[in-house]
Amino acid sequence: MQPDKILYTATAIAKGGRDGRGITPGGPLDLQLSTPKELGGAGGPGTNPEQLFAIGYAACFIGAMRAVGARENIKVPDDVAIESHVGIGPAGSAFTIAVELKIELPGMDRETAQKLVDTAHQVCPYSNATRGNVDVVLTLV
């Protein structure tokens, strides 16, 4: 699926791979990267691509829920939160990721919350990018 029109393009530069730096030209990001011990690295104070993907997916999914809420006249709670889990591991001779989004919609009835989440999953760019390629589990908590 391709966009009909590009509205915004993010630019980032990775230097040195998983143990390097990640920057966005002109700011505001300049992140130290480090490989987790579980993947054979030293661990350390830096972040990793899976953490960045987890934050991006969660934030984008909240945006999708708000867009759907506005369209469907569903009030999305101000204190909506998503705990995002991105796992990485081998799949045959390659590596792949798996995602779980634990979605909190305080004060919303379960049926409306489920409808909102299901519709947002069809709208969210991260969901559309991963669909059919990455195992994504959506859990209402």
**Residue 56: closest CA among 97, 111, 94:** 97
Rounded distance between C-alpha atoms, residue 93 and residue 84, angstroms: 26
Does the pLDDT value for residue 1 go beyond 90? no
Provide mean pLDDT across the span 113-125: 98
Kindly report the CATH number assigned to the domain that includes residue 102.
3.30.300.20
Identify the bridge partners of residue 89 per DSSP, sorted by sequence position.
Answer: 96
Cα–Cα distances in angstroms (integers) from residue 89 to residues 102, 105, 117, in the given order: 20, 30, 27
| Residue 53 and residue 66 in one domain | yes
Burial readout 93-123 (b: 16 or more C-beta within 10 A, e: otherwise) = eeeebebbbebebeebeeeebeebbebbbeb
Write out the two tokens for 61.
């999914």
Provide mean pLDDT across the span 129-139: 97
The Cβ-side half-sphere exposure at 86, using a 13 Å CA radius, reads 18
| Residue 23 and residue 76 in one domain | no
| Residue 93 and residue 65 in one domain | yes
| pLDDT, tens only, 79-104 | 999 999 999 999 999 999 999 999 99
Q: What is the greatest pairwise CA distance in the chain?
A: 48
| Residue 85 and residue 129 in one domain | yes
**Are 68 and 116 in contact, with CB atoms under 8 Å apart?**
yes
| Residue 10 and residue 59 in one domain | no
| Residue 31 and residue 54 in one domain | no
pLDDT band, very low/low/confident/very high, at 123 (cuts 50, 70, 90): very high
Kindly report the CATH number assigned to the domain that includes residue 42.
2.20.25.10
| Residue 62 and residue 112 in one domain | yes
The pTM assigned to this predicted structure is 0.95
Domain that holds residue 82: 49-140
DSSP summary character for residue 29: -
Q: How many domains does the chain have?
A: 2
| pLDDT, tens only, 5-59 | 999 999 999 999 999 999 999 889 999 999 999 999 999 899 999 999 999 999 9
| Residue 66 and residue 103 in one domain | yes
| Residue 62 and residue 127 in one domain | yes
